[in-house]
A and B are shown apart, each in its own frame.
Chain A
Amino acid sequence: MATTSAVVSETQPQTRAWPRVLLALGRVVLGAIFLYAAYAKLHFNGSWHLRDYYFFFGMAINSYNLLPLWAVELLSRFMPWFELALGFFLVIGIGLRLTSLIASALLLVFIAAMTRAYILGLEIVCGCFGNTEKLGPWTLTRDSSMLVLALAVALGAFLINRRRTAVSS
Chain B
Amino acid sequence: MKPLRNRRIGIFFFVAAVVALSGSSVRPQTNAPAAPAAKSAPAKTSTPASPAAKPAAAALGSKTLGSKSAPITMEVFEDFQCPACGSFYETSLKLFIDNYVNTGKVYLIHRDFPLDMHPYARQAARLANAAADLGQFETVERALFDSQNQWSARGNIEEVIASSVPPAQLKKIRDYEAAHINEINASIERDRAMGVQRNVNQTPTIYVTAHGKTEGLPGGGVDYKLLSGYIEYLLRQ
On chain A, the residues within 8 Å of B213 by CB distance are: 47
B25 interface contact, C-beta 8 A: yes
Q: Which one, A72, A88, A95, A124, contacts B11 given CB within 8 A? A: A95
Q: CA separation between A122 and B87, bound complex, in Å?
A: 12
Quick check: A95 and B216 within 8 Å, CB to CB?
A: no
Contact residues in A for B201 (Cβ distance below 8 Å) = 134
A84–B6 alpha-carbon span in the complex (Å): 20
Given A55-B230, A63-B221, A98-B11, check contact A85 B216 (CB 8 Å): no
Q: Does B17 contact A (CB under 8 A)?
A: yes
A77 B25 Cβ-Cβ under 8 A: yes
A59 within 8 A of B: yes
B22 at the A interface (CB under 8 A):
yes
| CB contact list, A118-155 vs B, under 8 A | 122-125, 127, 131-132, 134
For the A-B complex, the count of residue pairs with Cβ-Cβ distances under 8 Å equals: 104
CA distance A45 to B20 in the complex (A): 25
Give per-residue flags for A86-99: 1 if the beta carbon is below 8 A from chain B beta carbons, else 0. Answer: 10110000110011
Q: B225: which of A63, A69, A86, A89 is its contact (CB, 8 Å)?
A: A69
Quick one: closest B residue to A60, CB to CB?
B218
CB interface residues, B 188-237, toward A, < 8 Å: 199, 201-202, 213-223, 225-227, 229-230, 233
Contact yes or no, A51 B226, CB < 8 A: no
A142 to chain B, nearest CB (A): 17
A36 interface residue, CB < 8 Å from B?
A: no
Which of B13, B18, B215, B222 has a CB less than 8 Å from the CB of A82? B18
In the bound complex, CA of A47 to CA of B215 (Å): 10
A18 to B72, CA, bound (A): 58
How many residues belonging to A are interface residues under a CB distance threshold of 8 Å? 40
Can you list the 7 inter-chain pairs with the closest CB atoms, starting with the nearest?
A: A81-B21, A95-B10, A55-B230, A69-B40, A94-B10, A78-B22, A60-B218
Of the candidates B21, B214, B217, the one whose C-beta lies within 8 Å of that of A85 is B21
A62/B223 in contact, CB under 8 A: yes
Asked if B218 contacts A63 (CB within 8 A), the reply is yes
Q: A59 to B14, Cβ gap below 8 A?
A: no
In the complex, whether B84 has a CB less than 8 A from a CB of chain A is yes
Chain A residues with a Cβ under 8 A of chain B: 45, 47, 50-56, 58-60, 62-63, 65, 67-69, 72, 77-78, 81-82, 84-86, 88-89, 94-95, 98-99, 122-125, 127, 131-132, 134
Measured between alpha carbons, how far is A132 from B202 in the docked complex, in Å?
10
29 A–B pairs (Cβ distance < 8 Å), ordered by A = A45-B215, A50-B25, A51-B27, A53-B25, A54-B25, A55-B233, A56-B217, A59-B230, A62-B222, A62-B223, A72-B40, A77-B26, A81-B21, A81-B22, A81-B25, A82-B22, A86-B14, A88-B17, A89-B14, A94-B10, A94-B13, A95-B6, A95-B7, A123-B202, A123-B219, A123-B220, A131-B218, A132-B216, A132-B218
Please classify the interface of chain B as helix (H, G, I), strand (E, B), loop, or mixed, using the class held by over half of its residues. Answer: mixed
Complex Cα–Cα for A147 and B225 (A): 33
- With A45-B215, A98-B7, A98-B11 as contacts: A63 and B220 at CB distance below 8 Å: yes
B154 near A: Cβ within 8 Å?
no
Contact of A45 among B216, B225, B230 (CB under 8 A): B216
Q: Judging by beta carbons under 8 Å apart, are B21 and A125 in contact?
A: no
Q: Give A122 Cβ to nearest chain B Cβ, in Å.
A: 7
Interface assignment of B60: CB less than 8 Å from any CB of chain A: no
- Bound complex: CA of A2 vs CA of B145, how far in Å? 86
In the complex, what residue of chain B is closest to A161 when comparing beta carbons?
A: B3
A45-B216, A132-B199 in contact; A65/B22 too (CB < 8 A)?
no
